[in-house]
Amino acid sequence: MTAVLAISGSLRSRSHNSGLIRAVAANAPADVEVEIYGGLASLPPYNEDLDTGAPPVPVTELRRLTAQADALLISTPEYNGTIPGQLKQLIDWASRPYGQSALSGKPVAVVGVSLAEYGALWAQDHLKKALGIAGARVTEIVLPVGRSREKFDEDGNLVDQETIDRITDVVTALVEHHRSLVAA
């Protein structure tokens, strides 16, 4: 069984990125266990003064979940051409303390959803760069989900079968990436 921690970079309750993450959990292959991370809103801004032997509880939980997962799947919205601030906070907290990063060597796939046609491609590129610098093993998988209003219902649930199939393929590729790293 491969454990995947799925993270939506959006805080909005009817977020299409969160809907994509829910679809990942609902359609994961039988040998994949998906846990949806729900602590993004509770993470404080990164502050090295708080990054002590007893960091804030939400940080400890993030680091524990990240370390326990075999791989991460992150879905990012695009705000002003880049990733949202709260997602950057997550990376900053998970990448520390230096030398003990929960992200170090962790297989990660990045996808993105946006109302625009391009499916948060810039944000995906920025997120991949930040994760790579933090030590993650980011896959080259690309899944831009554009024109999201056509693919999600008004409650933020993914209803487009082609996108469901594509995100299932992304999870399968992420698991294969994890297995290749373990075998190496």
Domain CATH code at residue 15: 3.40.50.360
Confidence at residue 136, expressed as pLDDT on a 0 to 100 scale: 97
Residue 147 confidence class, pLDDT cut points 50, 70, 90: very high
Distances (CA, A) of 96 to 48, 79, 108, 147, 155: 9, 25, 17, 36, 35
- CB 5 within 8 Å of CB 66: yes
Six-digit token string for 10:
């959006």
Instruction: Say if CB 5 and CB 72 are below 8 A apart.
Output: yes
Structure tokens at 34: 């998906």
Q: What range defines the domain where residue 102 resides?
A: 2-183
Locate 179 and state its tokens: 């297995």
Q: Which two tokens stand for residue 134?
A: 């933090």
d(CA 111, CA 8): 10
**pLDDT tens digit sequence for 162-176:** 999 999 999 999 999
- Tally of structural domains, the chain: 1
Instruction: Give pTM, 2 decimals.
Output: 0.96
CB-CB contact of 146 with 117 (8 Å) = yes
In tens, the pLDDT along 67-110 reads 999 999 999 999 999 999 999 999 999 999 888 899 999 999 99
With a cut of 80, say whether residue 38 has pLDDT above it: yes
Place of tokens 């999600």: 152
